Amino acid sequence: MSKKSITNSTKNLVQVLATGFGSNVWAYAINDETYAQLLKLDEPFEMEDLILSEYKAGQLVCWGPDVSNSCSIKININGNEKELSIIFTDEDCPLAEELAARKIGKSEPYIEFNRDNKRWLGETFNLNGLNHVFLHSITWKDMKLELELPINPAKFKYEKIKLLACELDSGFDLARITYDNGLLDGQEEDVIGVEYDGRAYYFESSKASHSIHESRCIVSRGIDGWRINDNINFSRSF
């Protein structure tokens, strides 16, 4: 049964909401010269200020709930909110078969998540010539992401909407830095947006509460790959 949303009652609006457990992780790559300066500092706040003023490449690694771990997707249409069943599909599990298996009709509220249509963490993050990455991570019990679809609510069709997520175990350097070192709290697929009628829309704003833990570290490139660097400690004053 639909219910009146307490978050948005604006008419002529289609809003998508994603909530659940998740992490915010920011990555900042620095050059060898900045790293050498860090080794001379003792105060974590000074080290972070130096990194944020000198970094050469930065990216938000993840900022949403894991699609496979307690993720809830809701649609708010003209102020009426409905929770959508997430239907997982791929080449071997087509949508029609999955809907039939779960006894969901095409007019019922659902959203397809096609695992063959994912983004890949780090595919555009260039680390050529950079050997050190600073990571700031916060894990949250409750996260909420929102976006608005610029479509006529009267014409909205569930079969046209698909969930978009980023594969965190992607094989690119940024995944080796974060996922392989256990710095993403077990997240596998970070929710980032939706596709509607073949066009992608990304979550624009994020809210989070009830932090579980926060950490800062440097991960450095070595002969055996990317490893957490124990020569720099950010924990003393945070």
Rounded to two decimals, the pTM is 0.85
Domain presence at residue 137: yes
Three-class SS state of 69: coil
Express each pLDDT in 7-50 by its tens digit. Answer: 444 456 899 999 998 889 999 999 999 999 999 998 999 999 99
Give the least confident one: 46-60, 95-109, 152-166, 203-217: 203-217
pLDDT at 4: 41
pLDDT at 106: 67
Domain presence at residue 236: no
Beta-carbon contacts of residue 125 (< 8 Å; ≥ 6 apart)? 27, 29, 57, 59, 172, 173, 174
Q: How far apart are CA 57 and CA 174, in angstroms?
A: 11
Number of domains within the chain: 1
Domain presence at residue 237: no
Q: Could you tell me the end-to-end alpha-carbon distance of the chain, in angstroms, rounded to an integer?
A: 46
Express each pLDDT in 112-161 by its tens digit. Answer: 999 999 999 999 999 999 999 999 999 888 899 999 999 999 999 888 99
Q: Which two tokens stand for residue 210?
A: 């009830």
Range of the domain at 179: 3-228
Q: How far apart are CA 206 and CA 122, in angstroms?
A: 21
Domain presence at residue 88: yes
